[in-house]
Amino acid sequence: MSTSSLEEIKRVKLVAIIRSHSLEGLENTARSLYHGGIRAIEITMNTPGALRGIERIKETYPELLIGAGTVLDSETARLAIMSGASFILTPTLKKETIETANRYNLPIIPGVMTPTEVLTAYEYGAQMVKIFPIRQLGPKYLTDLGGPLPFVETMAVGGISLENAGLFLKAGASALGIGSSLVDEKLVKQCDFEEIERRAASFVEIVNKVKSQN
């Protein structure tokens, strides 16, 4: 399997999660994130026009890594791949969806929580898993998982903020998926894209600080 997209996610360590009510909102948000230093974004499939959004943003920002999120089944995964998604994220664990992504040689990051689900996802062919929701579990959970399962890469998602992002990275997360604390739906509706850009730059600064300490 090609791991270039996965390696890029591990390098930049931040995946911005975008939900919007319009294609215009998606594009404006992507622009703000890009200017703020974000280089990997996830467009959720429950966003109207998500597939077209993947295509358009990929055309406008070829250096941005564009993934599809909230993928619930193998057919949706296939449609996202056909639209140009570079990686797939799911909120749950489903073997058929992982098999579809693997068939197209595309990284998939399924949502899991328990150690059994983490190992099962790995055995199904996922090279990275999304620990979701991480809010209730905390950074120490990632450290504990790394004991028996050090060979599984993790992305922490669900409750990542400017206050705890560094803690999750230091605890062993290979990447962070960031939603409302970065792309607040209210900011998008208010067209306050400057604030989204400012928050993006703040998250990038945290990542750079953690990297410099390693």
Tens-digit pLDDT profile for residues 48-107 = 999 999 999 999 999 999 999 999 999 999 999 999 999 999 999 999 999 999 999 999
* Sign of CA pseudo-dihedral 204, 159, 83, 51: negative
Tens-digit pLDDT profile for residues 107-163 = 999 999 999 999 999 999 999 999 999 999 999 999 999 999 999 999 999 999 999
Task: Domain ranges for the chain, please list them.
Answer: 4-213
Helix ranges (H only) for 61-157 are 74-82, 95-103, 115-124, 139-145
pTM: 0.95
The arrangement of secondary structure in 4-213, i.e. its CATH architecture, is Alpha-Beta Barrel (3.20)
Tens-digit pLDDT profile for residues 29-52 = 999 999 999 999 999 999 999 999
CA-CA distance, 10 to 104, in Å (whole number)? 21
Phi, then psi, of 66 in degrees rounded to 5: -110, 120
Q: Taking the CA atoms of the chain, what radius of gyration do you get in angstroms?
A: 16
CA-CA distance, 41 to 33, in Å (whole number)? 8
pLDDT given for residue 21 in this prediction? 83
pLDDT given for residue 2 in this prediction? 46
* Strand order through the sheet with 108-109: 108-109, 87-89, 65-69, 40-44, 14-18, 175-178, 153-157, 128-131, 111-112
pLDDT given for residue 3 in this prediction? 54
Q: How many CA atoms lie within 13 A of 184 on its CB side?
A: 14
CA-CA distance, 158 to 94, in Å (whole number)? 19
Nearest by Cα to 72 from 99, 55, 94, 103 = 94
Tens-digit pLDDT profile for residues 148-187 = 999 999 999 999 999 999 999 999 999 999 999 999 989 9
Instruction: Using the predicted structure, report yes or no on whether residue 1 has a pLDDT greater than 70.
Output: no
pLDDT given for residue 22 in this prediction? 86
Q: Is 58 among the residues known to form the active site?
A: no
pLDDT given for residue 150 in this prediction? 96
CA-CA distance, 44 to 72, in Å (whole number)? 11
Q: Is 42 among the residues known to form the active site?
A: yes
- For residue 184, what are its two tokens? 């607040």
Choose the catalytic residue: 13, 58, 94, 130. Answer: 130
